[in-house]
Copies of this chain bind each other. A is one copy, B any other.
Amino acid sequence: MKLAVVGGGSTYTPELVAGLARERERLDLTELVLQDVDSERREVVGGLAGRMLAAAGYDGAHSVTDDLDRAVEDAAFVLIQLRVGGQAARLSDETIPLACGCIGQETTGAGGLGKALRTLPVVLGIASRVRELAGEDAWIVDFTNPVGIVVRGLLDAGHRAVGLCNVAIGLQRFIAHLLGVDPARVAVDQVGLNHLTWVRAVRVDGVDVLPELLAEHGDTLADHVELPRDLLERLGAIPSYYLHYFYFHDAVLEEQRRGTLRAAEVAEIERELLELYRDPTLTTKPALLERRGGAYYSEAATQLVAALATGSGDVQVVDVRNERTITGLAGDDVVELPAAIESSGPRPLPQAPLAPELLGLVQHVAAYERLAARAAVTGDRELVSKALLAHPLIGQVPQVDELTERLLVEGRAYLPQFEATGTLA
């Protein structure tokens, strides 16, 4: 089985390679290709990956390339984890919103829209090559943010895709650790949209222990998601960390206005990571990688690939079409929730209706995501404005007008679709 990683020069890759090497038997992995457009990263990250695979005793094929076609040809799985425009673009996703009086975050709010506009066309282009060179049965696993919008775009275009995020597995591992039980026994019923989810039940061996968990470890869990404990208790659910941007919007904005940005931090960590990766004696992922974000992405991706390959029916939290799972959302909305992973793809598990205090916000953001995906594909400036107007954290005309202008003009280097429609003339 051949597996290709697009954006394989990411600093995340050692994490992923560690997982693939560990599970290579179960996956029947025979070829691994890391594709990246950045030659330095190919050399540094590819070099480390090779050393890691060798150290793990992997004897299949392994290559590093900048040639997308060669990478995806005949692949059974294509993992996409790229970042159009690199950390510089991320910085603009954070600074442009802030300059317009909005929070600057790379997946939530206007920054997420900027990223979606840049990213979706590139991912769709890759998916087309996959379809042509690897066939309609090849699976695309998208880890590229904003996952919800990117997967929506992939599915709208008819691709065989599933979205993946490490938020659910991160919380699952954290809770297993808290409870002192094997993670395999713990399941989190996380539901919502990507980066807009709540865990409404935590099952250990199938039994919901969330009330006890909140009673005993409420403070720890609350710290983990940076929200107050009594909010978790009142909702009867654990919101994802990203809800922080909604439930404490003004405080986050004020903090951002006074200070430093995550992008600057990440760029610095990436520089250090690449420096570490160059060390020819390094054959394991360095500890610093944990501060990069993306923890457990490796496990999640490896499990997902294995489950799809074997049709195991394992339950995993993934991003898929809603169909009729969540009442009040449209069938073609892309939701994030537990699904049984079968050979034919993920099958969402049934969900009780969302409480109104969750549903209204989810519906609002889903409407935004619909417009965002359309805007990214069409290069229609009006849809950019409408997406911003539809976002619950923006929604105001002065901000919408200023953001539309700046996102398109300052991001133009990566927005050929808007160039084509004359929007940036």
Contact = CB atoms under 8 A, between A and B. Distances in A.
A334 interface: no
Given A259-B99, A328-B363, A390-B361, A371 B395 contact: no
B357 A398 contact: no
Bin the interface of chain A by size: 35 or more
Contacts of A178: none
A389 interface: yes
Contacts of A249: 395-396
B395 A392 contact: yes
A281 interface: no
A368 B361 CA distance: 10
Q: Which of A257, A259, A397 has the most CB of B within 10 A?
A: A397
A276 B130 CA distance: 46
A367 to B, nearest CB: 3
A259 B98 contact: yes
Q: SS class of chain A's interface: helix, strand, loop or mixed?
A: helix
A367 B356 contact: yes
Nearest to A360: B367
A75 interface: no
Given A386-B234, A395-B247, A396-B249, A257 B257 contact: yes
Q: Which of A250, A251, A360, A386 has the most CB of B within 10 A?
A: A360
A331 to B, nearest CB: 11
A260 interface: yes
A185 B94 CA distance: 51
Contact of A234 (B250, B257, B368, B385): B385
A248 B370 CA distance: 23
Stoichiometry, as copies per complex, reads 4
A250 B99 contact: no
Contacts of A371: 356-357
Contacts of A101: 250, 258
A345 to B, nearest CB: 26
Contact of A390 (B228, B357, B386): B357
A366 interface: yes
Interface in A304-362: 328, 330, 355-357, 359-361
A231 interface: yes
A396 B250 contact: yes
Contacts of A330: 328
A248 B382 contact: no
A108 interface: no
Interface string A134-157: 000000000000000000000000
Contacts of A80: none
B251 A398 contact: yes
B357 A365 contact: no
Nearest to A102: B258
A389 B368 CA distance: 19
A329 to B, nearest CB: 8
A417 interface: no
A32 B33 CA distance: 61
A361 B251 CA distance: 23
Given A101-B258, A364-B364, A246 B356 contact: no
A95 interface: yes
Interface in A364-400: 364-368, 370-371, 382, 385-387, 389-390, 392, 395-398
Contacts of A98: 258-259
A390 B248 contact: no
21 contacts: A95-B259, A95-B260, A98-B259, A101-B250, A101-B258, A227-B397, A249-B395, A251-B398, A257-B257, A328-B328, A328-B330, A328-B363, A356-B367, A357-B390, A359-B363, A359-B367, A360-B364, A360-B366, A360-B392, A364-B392, A392-B395
Shortest Cβ-Cβ A-B pairs, 8 listed? A360-B367, A363-B363, A356-B367, A257-B257, A364-B364, A360-B364, A357-B386, A357-B390
